[in-house]
Structures are given as C-alpha cells and as structure tokens.
Amino acid sequence: MKSVLITGASSGIGEAFALKLASMGIEQLFICGTNLERLKQVQEKCLSAGAKAVSIKQLDVVDRSAVAEWVFACNAEFPLDLVYANAGVATGTEYVNSNVFRTFDINVGGVINTVLPAVECFFARENVDPATGLKGKIAITASIAGYHGLPQCPSYSASKSCVKAWGAGLRGMLARDKIGVSVICPGFVRSRITDVNTCPMPFFMEADVCAEKIYKGIMRNKGIIAFPWQMRLVSWFMGTLPEWLSGWIYSKLPEKNDTTKALHNL
C-alpha cells in the first residue's frame, strides 16, 4: 500500500495503525481527527517513523459533505489504496439523549460518510492492483461489542453491530467490482476511551499489537478481523443463548463507568 486514508487517527487504534504504516515507509498518509494538536503530534511521529508524507485534516466525520470533499481531494492528490473508516466514540451515560444521538451519528453516520465516497473513487478506476487483484480496499472499525446487544452499553454495541453487518454485506456486494472490504472487531484496546474505563477489561491489548493484527488481516483481504479469539468466542456464544439466559448473565456483570468525557477523543 502506497496511499492510505484513516479517520479518527489522532489517538488509539487509528494512531497505532498510522504508525504501523509509517514504520513500513508508506509514501502518503492522510489522517483526520477533531483535535488538531494531537493530529500534529501523530504527524510528527509518523514522519519520524519513516512515512514519506503525512497530511492532516481537522474534521468531524459527521459532516457528510466535508468528509466526501476530503476523501475525493486525497484520492485526486495520491490515488488511495485503502480507506479506513476508524473514527468512533463511546456513549458515556446512556440516559443522556444527546450522547445516544452522537454515538450513532459518529459510529454509524461517520462510517457511512467515509465509505461511500471511497466506493465512488474505487468504482471510477479501470485497472486493478496486480498485487491484490483489487481496485482498492475499505476497512471499518466495528467491535466485539457488536456481536450482541449489551445492556451496559446498548447504543455503542448497537452502533457497532450496524457497521459490522453493513461492512459484511458490502464485502459481498463489492467483491464483483474488485473492491475489498474488511471489518475490524477488536476487544479492549488501549485508547483515550479505555483509559477512563473502570470496568473489568479482559484480554486487554496494547494499540500497537492491535494495529499489527489489523494490518495482517487487511493485507490478506480478510472479511472479519476479530480479536482476541477468546472474546470473539464468548460474544458469539452469548448470541446463541435464549434471551432470558443471556439477560441474566449480563445482569451479573458490572456497570460501565461514565465515559462522557471521552466523547470528543477521536
């Protein structure tokens, strides 16, 4: 991959993935986030790590027209090999309506706003990459939480379930058009969101380890990149149980703390 665009790259998984690509000497990175100072720091890190060029954009992925304009402009400057719709937030207090709306606006709307322009860019290409057999690749960050509705974070798990299903469907639909789609479903990964969590976080993973797994999965054009396998297995199993039993099990789990202050940490 020579040219990659990543949303939500000022921290967490997005930053780690950008650094992974930079360490491999990528020619062009396009990254965005809502915090300009953190973006500048990531830009400096990526250039020091070996990236040839890193362009930053302060951008809220909820702004549909602005995101489309940015994706098209980046593709015109240096044709994109991968568009990674990574930006996402935790809900915080579920009883605050504005938190719920923002969760869906960013975690679902922001993904759609990023992916659809990318599809247009790849559709317009006549040739495929001889190394991959694809015109381009799309990656979407969902979550292990998207495998089943969680009473501890219903809005978050629902938003991730939505983009997981949409991404899986897109993969099948776009395969005939030589466009690859990978859906990433991580468990607990170090980020500005998990930094404020007080609930148990089994199989906790550092962001650079997560980025390595994502990179390998995308390079293999893997449809679902879910990890750790233990959490994926448990989440899948919970989804097979009758509602009364899964509901009883979830009721015994500790409540998540209020992560409202992490809402803007893209």
Cα 3 from Cα 21, distance rounded (Å): 10
Cα 27 from Cα 1, distance rounded (Å): 8
Burial of 151 (0-12, 13-18, 19+ CB in 10 A): middle
Catalytic residue among 84, 156, 215, 250: 156
> For the residues 124-144, what does the mean pLDDT come to?
95
Cα 166 from Cα 139, distance rounded (Å): 12
Q: What is the pLDDT of residue 150?
A: 80
Q: Write down the residue that tokens 């922001």 correspond to.
A: 110
Lowest mean pLDDT among 6-10, 130-134, 201-205: 201-205
Lowest mean pLDDT among 111-115, 134-138, 218-222, 233-237: 233-237
138 within 8 A of 1, measured Cβ to Cβ: no
Q: Phi/psi of residue 134, each to 5°?
A: -125, 155
Tell me the CA distances in angstroms from 78 to 1, 9, 72, 81, 181, one per residue in order: 12, 19, 10, 9, 20
Q: What percent of the chain has pLDDT over 90?
A: 69
30 within 8 A of 4, measured Cβ to Cβ: yes
Q: What is the pLDDT of residue 204?
A: 59
Q: How much is the pTM?
A: 0.89
Residue 262 predicted with pLDDT over 60: no
Q: What is the pLDDT of residue 200?
A: 56
Residue 239 predicted with pLDDT over 80: no
Query: Of 202, 193, 210, whose CA–CA distance to 235 is shortest?
Result: 202
Paired with 5 in beta bridges are 30, 83
- The pLDDT confidence band at residue 261, using thresholds 50, 70 and 90, is very low
Q: What is the pLDDT of residue 247?
A: 77
Query: Of 140, 148, 145, 149, whose CA–CA distance to 169 is shortest?
Result: 140
List, in order, residues 6 or more apart from 35 with CB less than 8 Å away: 10, 58, 264, 265, 266
Cα 209 from Cα 224, distance rounded (Å): 17
Paired with 55 in beta bridges are 30
**pLDDT, tens digit (0-9, with 9 covering 90-100), for 141-153:** 999 888 888 888 8
Q: Phi/psi of residue 157, each to 5°?
A: -65, -35
- The pLDDT confidence band at residue 46, using thresholds 50, 70 and 90, is very high
**pLDDT, tens digit (0-9, with 9 covering 90-100), for 65-101:** 999 999 999 999 999 999 999 999 988 889 999 999 9
138 within 8 A of 170, measured Cβ to Cβ: yes
83 within 8 A of 136, measured Cβ to Cβ: yes
Q: Would you call 95 a catalytic residue per the annotation?
A: no
Please give the residue that has the higher pLDDT: either 253 or 198.
Answer: 253
Q: What is the pLDDT of residue 257?
A: 53
Cα 181 from Cα 2, distance rounded (Å): 18
**Cα 121–39–135 angle (5° rounding)?**
20
Token output for 206: 């550092």
Residue 196 predicted with pLDDT over 70: no
Residue 169 predicted with pLDDT over 80: yes
List, in order, residues 6 or more apart from 238 with CB less than 8 Å away: 147, 148, 246, 249, 250
What residue ranges define each of the domains in the chain, with the CATH number in brackets?
Answer: 3-262 (3.40.50.720)
